[in-house]
Amino acid sequence: MSTPPSPTERVRLDKWLWAARFFKTRSLAADEIDKGRIRVNGQVAKASREPKPGDEIEYRAGYTTRIVVVRALSTVRGPAPQAALLYEETAASLLARAQAAEQRRLAPEPAHAIAQGRPTKRDRRQIDDLRTTGDGPRGHWNDRWSASLDD
Cα-to-chain-centroid distance, residue 4 = 30
User: Considering the domain boundaries, does residue 74 fall inside one?
Assistant: yes
Residue 6 is given by DSSP the state P
User: Considering the domain boundaries, does residue 134 fall inside one?
Assistant: no
User: Considering the domain boundaries, does residue 58 fall inside one?
Assistant: yes
CATH of residue 69's domain is 3.10.290.10
For residues 144 and 138, the answer to whether their CB atoms sit within 8 Å is yes
User: Considering the domain boundaries, does residue 131 fall inside one?
Assistant: no
Residues of the chain with pLDDT under 70: 1-8, 111-114, 133-151
User: Considering the domain boundaries, does residue 133 fall inside one?
Assistant: no
Query: Rounded CA gap, 14 and 116, in Å?
Result: 49
Q: How many domains does the chain have?
A: 1
For residues 22 and 14, the answer to whether their CB atoms sit within 8 Å is no
Query: Rounded CA gap, 74 and 12, in Å?
Result: 10
User: Considering the domain boundaries, does residue 40 fall inside one?
Assistant: yes
User: Considering the domain boundaries, does residue 3 fall inside one?
Assistant: no
User: Considering the domain boundaries, does residue 143 fall inside one?
Assistant: no
pLDDT at 45: 92
- Rounded alpha-carbon distances, angstroms, from residue 148 to 130, 136, 140: 21, 22, 15
Which among 62, 78, 61 has a CA at the least distance from the CA of 22? 61
Quote the domain boundaries for residue 26: 13-106
- Residue type for position 15: K
pLDDT at 58: 95
pLDDT tens, residue by residue, 33-49: 999 999 999 999 999 99
